[in-house]
Amino acid sequence: MAILPITVYGDKILRKKTKPVDAVNDAIVANVKDMFDTMRNASGIGLAANQVGINKSIFIIDLRPVEGYEETKPMVFINPRIVDESEESVILEEGCLSLPNLRADVERSEIILLEYLDIDENEVKLEADDWLARVILHEYDHLIGKMIPDRVDEDIKEELSEELKNISSRNIEIDYLITDKEE
């Protein structure tokens, strides 16, 4: 197991659509274990593979630190696909390990239906709501090259612009490992 550096706003990999996983092999299983170690080290509840420099369509979630989800098992989502989203939406504040110290209100669907492979390559259909739906949608966004600034209106994005510049230039104080600035 290893703790990997987390990519941050400005890193090109965060803006690319990830590649599908062809097969769950030992390397993928090792990547997933490293992702869990990295996420927990940074006190996160979700992490996409491209957030640790891996261009694969994988994300993980562990909601146990969230009140009401203490008994929820950690989850691995491979090649996820959002099948349906409710018209009802909720606006809540979100943060992101790739946007250290930045918080913003984001509107997301209240209920979603998705299909994915689990770590044993079982096909899974899942209807999710509340925090699970929100975290899934947040992590799924990473896989398609989107981040919180893409989900807020222009006025809020303008308010965040100085913080985004500081994150991109690594002019931030953070207690977990992040990537070096790309040249």
71 among known catalytic residues: no
> Coil, strand, or helix at residue 138?
helix
| pLDDT of the residue at 161 | 94
Assess if residue 158 is contained within a domain.
Answer: yes
Taking all residues of the chain, what is their mean pLDDT, rounded to a whole number?
A: 96
Q: Which long-range contacts (CB under 8 A, 24 or more apart) does 90-94 make?
A: 90/134, 92/134, 94/134, 94/138, 94/148
Assess if residue 63 is contained within a domain.
Answer: yes
| pLDDT of the residue at 176 | 96
| pLDDT of the residue at 109 | 97
Residue 55 banded pLDDT, cuts 50, 70, 90: very high
Assess if residue 174 is contained within a domain.
Answer: no
Question: CA–CA separation, 73 vs 90, rounded Å?
Answer: 24
Assess if residue 173 is contained within a domain.
Answer: no
* Mean of pLDDT values over 130-143: 97
Assess if residue 177 is contained within a domain.
Answer: no
Residue 183 pLDDT greater than 70, yes or no: no
Owning domain of residue 63:
12-168
Look at the chain and report how many structural domains it folds into. 1
> Two tokens at 20?
């599908």
What's 153's domain CATH number? 3.90.45.10
Question: Of these residues, 67, 139, 159, 173, which one is catalytic?
Answer: 139
The overall pTM is greater than 0.85: yes
Assess if residue 122 is contained within a domain.
Answer: yes
Assess if residue 27 is contained within a domain.
Answer: yes
Residue 5 φ/ψ, nearest 5 degrees:
-70, 140
Assess if residue 29 is contained within a domain.
Answer: yes
Amino acid at 135: V
